[in-house]
Chain A
Amino acid sequence: MLSCAEFLAEFGDYLEEAASPEVRARLEEHLHECKTCRIIVDSTRKTIRFVTDCDSFTLTAEQVEPIVKDVMTRIREKKN
C-alpha cells in the first residue's frame, strides 16, 4: 500500500478527478486505511471550495462598465 508521502505526491489529480482508474484505485485503497489522509483530502476540498467561492478578487457588474469606458476612451484618444 502507498505511504502517506506517496499519497500526498499523487493526490492532486485525484482532487481534480483526473487520476487514471489505476492510480485512483491505489489512492482510494490508501484512503480506506488512512484517517490522516482522509482528513487532508476532506479539508483540501473544503479549502478549494472556499477559494473558488471567494469574491475577494472580483468586480461587480457595475464596476466593469467604467473600466470598459475608460479603456475605450484612452484607445480612441490615442487613435486620434
Chain B
Amino acid sequence: MTSGGKTRWLIWVPLAAFAILFVVVATGLMRPSDTTVHSTLVDKPLPDFRLDPMVPGKPGLASADFGQGAPRLLNVFASWCIPCIAEAPQLMALKARGVAIDAIAIHDKGPAIADFLRRHGDPYAAIGDDARSRVQLSLGSSGVPETFLIDGRGRIVRQYIGDIRADQVDQIVRDVRAAR
C-alpha cells in the first residue's frame, strides 16, 4: 500500500475503531453489573394459570384469585431452597402486618412442603403445585425465592428477586399499600 492520497486516512481506521471500543468497554466496566435476570412482565397482567393444592387443608392457586380488588404477594418457593428458610420470618412479619401472601411451590412434594411450613411458619393463604415450573416460567421468574406483587386489578407491579431481607419489610408494606 502506498501512502498516496485517497487511502491515507485508512491507516488510522484501526486506531479509531480501537478508541471507540475502548470507550464502550470502559463505560461498561464502570457500570455496576447486574447479572440477575428480571421478569419482563412487570406492569403487565398476570398470566392465566390454575394449580392444584399442595397440602391438605390449603387451597391451590389460580390467576383468578388475584385482581379481586386487593393487592396480594405471590411467593415462588420450595422446601429444598435454603434462602427460603431465611426469608420465612420476613414473610410471617408481612402477614402479621396484613399483607396477603400466596405461593407456588416448584419441584416439590406435599409432605416436604407441610414439613417446611411446620418448621418455619405458614404465611400463605394458598399454595399451588408447580411441579414442573410451568407457572414459574410463565411469570418470567428465574429462581427461588422470588416474590411478585400483584395489584388489585391483576397486574404485576413489582418483582423482588432473592430472599426478602428484614430491612425490606417496611418498603414492601409501603409498596403493597400503594398498589391498591
Q: Do A and B come from one complex?
A: no
Binding site for B on A (CB under 8 A): none
